Structure 1
Amino acid sequence: MKADRVDKIRTTHHFRTRLGQWFELLKVPNGNPALTAAQFEAFSKQVPLLYFILATNMISLAWTHQGTAPDYLVIYLPSFFIALFVLRSLIWLRGRKRQRTAEQAYRQLKATNLLSLPIAVFCTGWSLSLLPYGDAYQQAHVAFFMAITVIGCIFCLMHLRSAALIVTVTVNLPFFVVMCLSGHPTFIATGVNVILVTMAMIMILVSHYRDFRQLHESRNVLMLQQQALQEQNKAMQVLSDENLRLANLDSLTQLANRRSFFAMLETAFARESSTDGKLAVGVIDLDGFKPVNDLYGHSAGDKVLIEISNRLSTITDPRLSVYRLGGDEFGLLLQGDVTEDSANALGAKVCELIAERINIGSGMVQVTGSVGFAIYPDVGETGQEIYELADYALYTAKRHHRAGTVIFNAVQANELNRQKVVEEAMVAADLDKELSLVFQPITCVDRRICIGFEALARWQSPRIGQVSPAEFIPVAEHNGRITLITRMLLARALKTATLWPDDIYLSFNLSPHDLTSPENILKIVAIVLKSGFDPRRINFEITETAVMHDFEQASASIQMLRELGAGISLDDFGTGYSSLNHVHKLPLTKIKIDGSFVRNIHTRKASFNIVKSVLAMCAEMELEAIVEGVETEEELHILENLGVRAVQGYYFGKPMTADDTLKRLALQDTKALAS
């Protein structure tokens, strides 16, 4: 008994579960808002067709029963419901494009689901009420009406499964019962046929609804994947944009970098050249920046660069863009109506901003700037060429020690053309045959005798004639042949110097390239040792530029020469950008005061004071002083009163050949013996 009771309970529970599942099929699902919204969107397109099918079938059936059935069945009731169907169609058509939330879509689907039952009951009751009227054709029309209507409704309601099932059950069960009760084989067969077709339609409906749901889920997954891919692409684009920004940005100063400068230059040149516009390119170089780095460290140098970048960024000119090209070099790009006056004004403003003192934390420092400009279309045929001409204008400013603005002009164009001619001639030259040496005497003021000679290079080119050292030395430094020239001429100078008396020394110039390469300085040492000439009788002359090029390596090279026994002179002192700190650190033996301070020293008080100060410094540091450029008796007299012991210049002798040095020294010995 107890087992029977348990089985009965299980059977009842199973029945209720199955019944609940069937009732769930007659409800509008609301577990997936996105699916509900998609279901509503698809269903809303079919509703007007549903009402169209109902209305046209109702009109057709009412029309065929005119005169045989009562007016309320064929006129009044159909008219009311047809009007209702038309009204509902218009409502759906007007609201089809309106956006609805998932909740609004659910409420409207639920209302349609509830409305499907009374409409199905009415259509079924109305059509069956017409069955007793008319002949066999009219009765067959009733059966056709119910069959075709229910099939059409199933198709139109396939996106609202619950409503389709309600209509199917509401219409087909009464229709099947009535057809079977008629007793007529044709009607019975029609009822069975409709039931079977409807069952097949329901299976198609269920399969379609399942496929629709799966398709929607697949679409959602695809949309999520697409959204994720878009987010990923967006993130990659942001990363790519950031990388591009960083690639075109100087990390220290936050200015656009060299790469950005040349890209913008080419873009601007293409635009201005096509519209006959103007364009100015400026190149800025800091004077005195290297000593700041060497004295205070690279962190101080970075502070200087950042501060100068900030100052340049404050120039409020929409036509101007500022770039850091590298090291202590900056670039300017000025577009629009550019003139020489506006470029000069900009250059003056830039130099003024740079020259303001800078607080680096541990003290105040000051640097200055030089600016070179080239203006298109006055010069240049490409963006790159305009930059190179601006750089040459800057080189001109640096070469002549002009702090300020230089605009590339015809004079510099001629210089540049000449430089190209010289470079081409040098590339093709047989330097061993074409280069020669002359020697300028260095004189002891007290005794008025020659104590040494400075070896000076000369070049007689068969293609372009005599070329000044001021022309070919920079070219040789640029194309890398200077080290070859140094070694070649040093060997010749030592060979000549071996013929001089033991108390006469040789002074020989070294280039920055000679000092900043350990390999090159070792080759120079080897040449000296191979010559057999006493290194103590050699005085190597270096410039401030050579030292500033790479102070650490230059210092090491100078120390090596000092250990060899050679003396070291700092040439052209006062014309470069080095500091007294560098002079103090280097193992120097002599300082050569540049001739620019000697010229008219008897009338220029500033020159007098400078020379006097340098001589005092040399005395304090126990360095010998040699004054260059002495050409007049007045200059010599002033220098002699200041205590100068050695001079060099045309007053005592111009550069001479090796043979002439021997004659001069022989004459000097003769005079000494005679006295």
Structure 2
Amino acid sequence: MGRIRTRLAEPPFARAEGRIAVRQMIELRTQIVSLYALLSVNACALAFTHLGLTPPWLTLACPAVFVALCAARALHWWRLKPETLTEAQARRRLRLTTVLAIALSVGFVAWSIALGAHGGPYEQGHAAIFIAITVIGCIFCLTHLPVAAFGVTLVVTGAFLIHCLTSGNGVFVAIGLNTTFVTVVMVRILANNYRAFIELTQSQFEAQRLAEENARQALTDSLTGLPNRRAFFQQLEALASADGRAPFALAIFDLDRFKPINDSYGHNAGDHVLRETGQRLAAFAGAEVAVARLGGDEFGALIRRPADGAEVTAFSTRICEALRAPIWLGETPVVTGCSAGLALYPDAGRRAAELFDRADYALYHSKLNQRGRTTLFSQEHESAIRTERAIEAALHGPYLVHEIEVHYQPILDAGTNRVVMVEGLARWTHFTLGRIAPDRFVAAAERCGAIHRLTTLLLRKALADAARLPPEIGLSFNLSSHDLTSSETVVAILGIVRESGFDPRRLTLELTETALMRDFERAREAITLLQALGIRIALDDFGSGYSSLSYVHRLPLDKVKIDRSFMADLSSRQGERIVATILELCRNLDLSCIVEGVETADQLAILRRLGCRYVQGYLIGRPMRMTSLLERLGETGTGPDGGRAQRLSA
């Protein structure tokens, strides 16, 4: 009994699973229509050969009923759309088909045997052929429903074999046995074919499952479980190109303080922060809101059918507030902060890329001017973008070399009261755009890939001017955050310095914390290469970032420039202590220290009392052209002292 149950559980006899059942229905649709056509034609042919030899109900009524039933079922299957059926519906229809097939087989075999009892040997032979063809046709046409095929075969072949064996006619006995043998062989072939069909279908399902899983993984961020950048842009493209073009909003969120948290607590803590942020953002997702992680600490959202800009701005502000809530790292709470940029379709743009750029610009505006808030892209921003594009075009234009120049601000040795260095500062006056702020055109150069050209052009100009300085006065030159991570720019800087003939030991290159954060290892390699030529390295704006002290410890620096922001509170006891602490740190690390932003005589006096050696600011002198600087230096002799410092000021 155990072997029988096992055999019945094998594919040809097992109940069709839902997904297999639908596939069976699809395969059966055309085959069963052909089967009913075959049965109808054969039944009519058999009835025709027995006309006048049997009662009319056998040759007219019965065939009419059979043909009507076959036509009705064939029409039903022809209209059927199996791919629209559910799993349960497919299984129910397969069971119904099996029952009807067996019922029709009983009727057809009984009718054909009844006809065989009339007429001569030809008519009886025709009846036998009809039964054999019926079995073969059923086996072939019901291949994908083996339970029905086996049921029909068992009914028809069994009844026909019994009829032949009990006929007493040797020919009919031979025909019955021969038909049974052929049927058994064909049933075995059917079983093998169906088993192959099941295996093929299952392998296709598995391949489809794996493909869907791969597609899902390709569109999912592995850390947060949110849709990734690719999925986000697919949805954005679909919304921007959809029929009807319903309005929607694109929001980009950026964590303001993720970088220092990641640096201070480690990458595992950073991953925890991102996962928690993803969970909080996912709570806002719904039928009208899709969220995603765009990369790093940047997230995005698509808001369908917003009422107006005020509503979607308020919604984005609520998201920012949720993301600003403290995240616990063990027993330590950290606050990342969050800024957002918004762009509305179609007001801010009609193409996906254009819309994303507008939202990104609004985010940039938030982080620059109102960190922690949401900025909605407006016409004012559109005008700013046009100006930025004009600046970018001018950076690649032929007139840049004539329009841009270097001004120089003196740096004073407070101990000897002599100017010992000048800092080169870029100034650009465009013939149509007018004067452009350095932070603006440097940022534009970094965005549009013109920073290499800008840096090398300014360095050549600065070194040419510095050659006119007295040999005891050095030159300080600022590098962009992109320069240190570009091997091409570093090699070019070395080549320019060598070609200029300017003593590399008189040259100081100033780096910001941002430059070091881009790629610390490459920055350290570049610093080592520059110092090998004799160039000095200074960390600019010390104290304004999160990791300045870490870089002082980890890098072979020569100088530190204290950020001008510390001068605002220098007159207070607390402010004086902070500056004194930084000065003491530099002395302990054997680093030269330059204080920026000195604007009053009182500030200079305090710094001298604290033992500060080098100072820079408007009190010492404003940035000016080299010719003006040389004239002022000639007028003041060795350097500014009290009234002299005023005279050196512009």
Equivalent residue runs for 1:554-633 within 5 Å: 554-598=523-567, 609=574, 612-622=577-587, 623-631=591-599
Paired AA for residue 251 in structure 1: S
- Assess if the C-alpha contact under 8 Å between 1:320 and 1:334 holds in 2: yes
Matches within 5 A, 1:143-542: 150=124, 153-154=127-128, 157-158=131-132, 160=156, 218-271=189-242, 274-275=243-244, 277-315=246-284, 317-337=286-306, 339-359=308-328, 366-400=335-369, 402-444=371-413, 449-462=418-431, 464-542=433-511
Deviation per CA, 1:350-409, whole angstroms, max 9, x where unpaired? 434444444556976553333222222321121111101111122223444724333222
Structure 2 residue 630 is the aligned partner of structure 1 residue 648: no
Among residues 663, 671, 674, which one is paired with 2:631 in the alignment? 663
Q: Which amino acid aligns with 1:327?
A: G
CA distances 1:277-310 after superposition (whole Å, capped 9, x unpaired): 3222222333343444445544443333323222
TM-score, normalised via structure 2 length: 0.71
| Equivalent runs, 1:100-115 vs 2, <5 Å | none
Q: 1:350 to 1:594 in 2, by over 3 A?
A: farther
AA in 1 matched with 2:556: P
SS for the counterpart of 2:204 is helix
Structure 1 residues 349, 654: closer, same or farther in 2, change over 3 A? same
2:520 to 539, 547, 551: 551
Contact 1:572–1:593 under 8 Å retained in 2: yes
Q: Contact 2:239 / 2:245 at 8 angstroms: preserved in 1?
A: no
Q: Given that residues 598 and 635 in structure 1 are in contact (C-alpha distance below 8 angstroms), is that contact kept between their aligned partners in structure 2? A: yes
In the alignment, the residues of structure 1 paired with residue 540 and residue 620 of structure 2 have an alpha-carbon distance, to the nearest angstrom, of 19
Residues 427-471 of structure 1, C-alpha deviations (whole Å, 9 max, x = no match): 222443333211112235567653321101123444544433233
Equivalenced residue count is 562
Q: Distance in 2 between matches of 1:169 and 1:566?
A: 112
3-state DSSP class of the match of 1:515?
A: coil
1:258 shift after superposition = 1.3
Distance in structure 1 (CA, Å) of the matches to 2:264 and 2:514:
17
Where 2:217 maps in the other structure, the secondary structure is: helix
The C-alpha deviation readout for 1:309-358, integer Å capped at 9, x for no partner, is: 22322335543222222233222222221543344334434434444444
Give the Cα–Cα distance (whole angstroms) in 1 for the partners of residues 594 and 180 of structure 2.
106
Measure, in 2, the Cα distance between the counterparts of 1:99 and 1:427: 77
Q: Structure 1 residues 168 and 224, CA, compared in 2 at 3 Å: closer, same or farther? A: closer
Distance 1:513 1:348 in 2: 33
Contact kept, 8 Å, 2:599 with 2:618, in 1: the verdict is yes
Shift of 1:628: 3.3
Decide whether aligned partners of structure 1 residues 422 and 208 sit closer, same or farther in structure 2, where only a CA change above 3 A counts: same
8 Å CA contact 2:412–2:620 kept in 1: the answer is yes
Judged with a 3 Å threshold, the aligned counterparts in structure 2 of structure 1 residues 356 and 537 are, in CA distance, closer, same or farther, namely farther
Q: TM-score, with normalisation over the residues of structure 1?
A: 0.69
Deviation for aligned residue 1:494: 2.7
CA contact (8 A) 2:406 2:424 kept: yes
Among all aligned residue pairs of Structure 1 and Structure 2, give the percentage whose two residues are the same amino acid: 35
Change (3 A) 1:370 1:572: farther
- Match of 2:144? none
Shift in alpha-carbon separation, 1:275–1:637, aligned structure 2, 3 A: farther
Give the drift of 1:44.
Answer: 9.4
Mark the CA change 1:99 to 1:670 in structure 2 (over 3 Å): closer, same or farther. closer
Cα separation, partners in 2 of 1:399 and 1:559, compared to 1, 3 Å: farther
What amino acid maps onto 2:272 in structure 1? Answer: K
Asked if the contact 2:227/2:291 (under 8 Å) is kept, the reply is yes
Q: Distance in 1 between matches of 2:460 and 2:161?
A: 113
Identify the range of structure 1 (312-321 vs 418-427) with the bigger mean alpha-carbon deviation: 312-321
Report the 3-state secondary structure (helix = DSSP H, G, I; strand = E; otherwise coil) of the residue aligned with 1:621.
helix
| SS of equivalent to 2:637 | helix
| Conserved 8 A contact 1:401-1:575 | no
Would the alpha carbon gap of residues 440 and 100 (structure 1) be closer, same or farther in structure 2, given more than 3 Å must change? closer
Query: Do 1:511 and 1:546's aligned partners in 2 also have CA atoms closer than 8 Å?
Result: yes
In 2, Cα distance between the equivalents of 1:576 and 1:394?
20
Distance, in Å, in 2 between the alignment partners of 1:458 and 1:404 is 32
Aligned 8 A contact 2:633 2:639 in 1: no
Contact 1:449–1:668, Cα closer than 8 Å, also in 2: no
Q: Judge which range, 316-325 or 628-637, deviates more.
A: 628-637
Larger Rg: 1
Is this contact kept in 1: 2:249–2:306, CA < 8 A?
A: no
Aligned mates of 1:202, 1:169 — CA distance in 2: 5
Asked whether the 8 Å contact 1:283–1:371 carries over to 2, the reply is yes
RMSD over aligned Cα atoms: 4.8
Whether the aligned pair in 2 keeps the contact of 1:445 and 1:646 (CA below 8 Å) is: yes
